[in-house]
């Protein structure tokens, strides 16, 4: 009796140490022992095992069918429990319990890992490279926990060395079939840039500066649109940092991927012009019906606005959500898209706050006028020269 009690105390301590429900562990142990005793005792009928929760004593019962047995299901109307507990029941149970408890602990740890990381999808993690081959890369997050970095989630310019520390973005967590949970991470996801800025920029972490959008071509270049929730705070300056120190840390983590930080604006014309940075923009004509922004740039800025193989324009379009058509000033003049300020602004009492500049075809600029004026920043100088 004393040894049984000691076993129960040991099981309870083990359950507490591993964070396992002791009654769930005992239920699984009973189910396993039932199969074991049916085989050892060579019983024709199923068995049921009970473990006394206080004393730890084990009882084995053979379930003898009573009444007719359904020929299709093999289930009887009722069963009679016949006590077949062997004399050496504790010894047999001890031999079986070790493997069962080990399995229960392993399953509980897997479930705990799954629950922990399933709640962290969309977060960044830091780990060390364990193995990197053409078909996959394994990242050790901590002892006993690894993440999978698939080839399609790796920037084309990156190569990984054993024991190298690296940050990644959790995209998925799946339960494995009889194995550890599968934690899938990415180095190409735009969310990784968001998390890196949260780490490097306190204003982003505190929510004072908001990242409104990220457009990314992994390993090459990204554009990040930011806005401030605090009047007077420059969101771009906060993200770039003194002498570019903050954005440089993010670029370093992304192994040299170029990052343009631009101010976000509710006005689509202003936002599109900012998104094409570092190119200088003369004016932006918005066509809401076709969701197209026609951008006119100085002739010497055309290649910069478009970017190598169209990369700058492509990222700007992805960031703003607008289809962008870039034209040089010379082409714009030929096509009648040159913008001239209207000779007489609307009367002050009828002024609606919108820029008074109109195109040669009579299309009015959609930008908001500067405070105290009749024109937006793009057209104010042109209006003053008239």
- 113-148 per-position pLDDT tens digit: 888 899 999 999 999 999 998 888 999 999 889 999
- Residue 224 near residue 210 (C-beta atoms within 8 A): no
Higher pLDDT, 195 or 34: 195
Average pLDDT, the chain: 84
| 230 SS3 class | coil
pLDDT tens for each residue of 329-382 = 888 877 766 544 444 454 444 556 777 766 554 556 767 777 666 677 766 666
- The reported pLDDT for the residue numbered 341 is 44
The model carries a pTM of: 0.70
| 333 SS3 class | helix
Tokens standing for 45?
A: 């009928």
For the chain, domains (ranges, CATH) are 2-116 (3.30.1480.10), 120-188 (2.40.50.140), 193-264 (3.30.300.20)
Burial class (CB in 10 A: 0-12, 13-18, 19+), 76: middle
HSE of 386 in the Cβ direction (CA atoms, 13 Å)?
Answer: 14
Residue 54: pLDDT band by 50, 70, 90 thresholds?
A: confident
- Give the full edge-to-edge strand order of the sheet including 283-287: 283-287, 292-297, 323-328
Residue 1 pLDDT exceeds 60: no
- The reported pLDDT for the residue numbered 305 is 95
- The reported pLDDT for the residue numbered 343 is 41
Tokens standing for 359?
A: 């195109």
């Amino acid at each position: 009796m004393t040894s049984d009690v000691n076993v129960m105390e040991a099981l309870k301590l083990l359950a507490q140490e591993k964070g396992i429900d002791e009654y769930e562990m005992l239920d699984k142990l009973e189910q396993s022992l039932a199969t074991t005793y049916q085989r050892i005792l060579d019983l024709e009928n199923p068995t049921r095992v009970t473990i006394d929760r206080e004393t730890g004593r084990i009882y084995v019962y053979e379930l003898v069918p009573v009444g007719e047995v359904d020929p299709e299901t093999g289930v009887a109307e009722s069963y009679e429990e016949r006590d077949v507990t062997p004399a050496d029941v504790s010894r047999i149970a001890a031999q079986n319990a070790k493997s069962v408890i080990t399995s229960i602990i392993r399953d509980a740890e897997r479930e705990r890992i799954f629950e922990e990381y399933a709640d962290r999808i969309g977060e960044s993690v830091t780990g060390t490279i364990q193995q990197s081959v053409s078909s996959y890369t394994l990242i050790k997050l901590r002892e006993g926990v690894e993440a999978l970095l698939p080839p399609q989630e790796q920037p084309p310019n990156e190569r990984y060395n054993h024991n190298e520390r690296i940050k990644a973005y959790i995209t998925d967590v799946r339960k494995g079939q009889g194995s550890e949970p599968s934690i899938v991470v990415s180095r190409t996801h735009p969310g990784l840039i968001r998390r890196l800025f949260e780490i490097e920029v306190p204003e982003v972490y505190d929510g004072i500066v908001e990242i409104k959008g990220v457009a990314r071509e992994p390993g090459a270049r990204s554009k990040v649109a930011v806005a401030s929730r605090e009047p007077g705070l420059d969101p771009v300056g906060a993200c770039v940092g003194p002498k570019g120190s903050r954005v440089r840390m993010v670029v370093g983590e992304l192994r040299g991927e170029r990052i343009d930080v631009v101010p976000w604006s509710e006005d689509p014309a202003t936002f599109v012009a900012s998104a094409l940075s570092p190119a200088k923009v003369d004016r932006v004509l918005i066509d809401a019906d076709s969701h197209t922004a026609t951008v006119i740039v100085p002739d010497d800025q055309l290649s910069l606005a478009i970017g190598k193989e169209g990369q700058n324009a492509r990222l700007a379009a992805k960031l703003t959500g607008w289809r962008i058509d870039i034209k040089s000033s010379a082409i714009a003049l030929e096509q009648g898209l040159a913008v001239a300020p209207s000779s007489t602004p609307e009367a002050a009492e009828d002024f609606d706050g919108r820029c008074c500049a109109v195109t040669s075809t009579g299309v009015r600029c959609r930008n908001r006028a500067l405070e105290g004026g009749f024109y937006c920043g793009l057209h104010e100088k042109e209006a003053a020269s008239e």
